[in-house]
């Protein structure tokens, strides 16, 4: 009787253990799903805030990148000259030309950026042979390439709108431009997805440096995550520096992307990313590949800080209130 009782209890304990293991895995999966939802929501919200604040500098950056001829009478001579002439000739609303595509794109773009980065980071964290710093950089590279696939059609429309020097018009021209690109070249790389490879290079390198630098240096400036969490100036400085370094690293690819997407002809001078970089270097010199770097740093340095700090705070708020 005692043996039978012990045997029965043993079976019950075994089955209870199995059920608990299944429940634990279920809760872990639910926790990961919930974290994923929080990452998507926080990333999208941070992206929307960042683009609304930094759009004027993005327009100035694009104008600098697409001008090529030194003899061009309409050429902008400096950052201040560009701001003043846009305001005088096109009006204050001109600084928000092309804002609708990034507003539409930024929510899914930043959501994809942070969500995929966290997923790639967790994958590389499980590979013990990969250094954590390399893991952060590789995760950033892959999330940037993934992000580029989502955002490139919006980038193509935005660039074509931003290089238009006519007085500002209603934003429904955004949809007219999208229809025009599709009519000219379809949904492929001759149409709405023009410059896809350059966007993948640009976003991949930017995110590789941005996430790699920020997450790698966090451990050197604070003994714990909780200490860094309460040290806002350090986090702002790190994310600002990460944004600036990422700009320096990816600007040649950004210039190539802008030239490709600004081209109207099917048989354009600028066709692919590396070919465009080679043409610009050969015809205009090395400095031409860094045209627009100052407005880009002014836009993505603070923008990188806004993005990271907003993401972390929104994510923590969601975790603490809805987890």
Winning range, highest mean pLDDT, from 155-159, 167-171, 207-211: 207-211
Burial 283-311 (b: 16+ CB within 10 A, else e): eeeeebbbbbbbbbbbbbbbbbbbbbbbb
Winning range, highest mean pLDDT, from 21-25, 268-272, 277-281: 277-281
Average pLDDT value for residue range 164-176: 62
- The CA distances from residue 125 to 133, 178, 202, in Å, are 10, 40, 25
Contacts of residue 95, defined as CB under 8 A and 6 or more positions apart, other chains included, come to 55, 56, 59, 86, 87
pLDDT tens, 110-144?
998 999 999 999 889 888 888 989 999 999 999 99
Enumerate domains of the chain plus CATH numbers. 39-65+75-322 (1.50.40.10)
pLDDT at 305 over 90: yes
> Contact 107/49 with Cβ under 8 angstroms?
no
> Contact 210/246 with Cβ under 8 angstroms?
yes
Average pLDDT value for residue range 46-74: 78
Tell me the pLDDT band of 145, cut-offs 50, 70 and 90: very high
Tell me the pLDDT band of 23, cut-offs 50, 70 and 90: very low
- The CA distances from residue 217 to 210, 235, 239, in Å, are 11, 10, 10
């Amino acid at each position: 009787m005692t043996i039978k009782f012990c045997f029965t209890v043993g079976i019950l304990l075994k089955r209870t253990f199995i059920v608990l293991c299944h429940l634990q895995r279920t809760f872990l999966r639910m926790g990961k799903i919930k974290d994923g939802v929080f990452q998507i929501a926080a990333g999208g919200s941070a992206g929307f805030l960042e683009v609304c604040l930094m759009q004027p500098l993005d327009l100035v950056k694009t104008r600098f990148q697409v001008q090529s001829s030194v003899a061009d009478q309409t050429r902008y001579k400096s950052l201040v000259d560009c701001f003043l002439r846009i305001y005088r000739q096109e009006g204050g609303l001109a600084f928000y030309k092309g804002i609708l595509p990034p507003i539409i794109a930024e929510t899914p773009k930043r959501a994809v950026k942070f969500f995929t980065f966290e997923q790639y980071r967790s994958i590389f964290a499980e590979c013990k042979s990969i250094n954590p710093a390399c893991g952060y950089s590789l995760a950033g590279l892959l999330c940037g390439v993934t992000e580029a696939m989502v955002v490139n059609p919006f980038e193509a429309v935005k660039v074509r709108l931003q290089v238009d020097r006519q007085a500002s018009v209603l934003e429904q021209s955004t949809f007219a431009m999208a229809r025009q690109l599709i009519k000219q070249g379809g949904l492929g790389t001759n149409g709405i997805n023009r410059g896809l490879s350059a966007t993948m290079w640009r976003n991949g390198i930017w995110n590789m440096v941005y996430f790699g630098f920020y997450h790698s240096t966090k451990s050197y400036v604070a003994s714990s995550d909780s200490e860094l969490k309460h040290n806002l100036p350090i986090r702002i400085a790190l994310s600002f520096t990460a944004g600036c370094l990422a700009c320096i690293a990816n600007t040649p690819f950004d210039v190539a992307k802008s030239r490709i997407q600004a081209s109207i002809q099917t048989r354009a001078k600028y066709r692919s990313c590396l070919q465009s970089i080679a043409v610009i270097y050969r015809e205009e010199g090395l400095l031409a590949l860094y045209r627009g770097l100052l407005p880009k740093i002014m836009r993505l340095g603070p923008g990188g800080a806004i993005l990271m700090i907003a993401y972390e705070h929104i994510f923590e708020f969601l975790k603490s209130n809805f987890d």
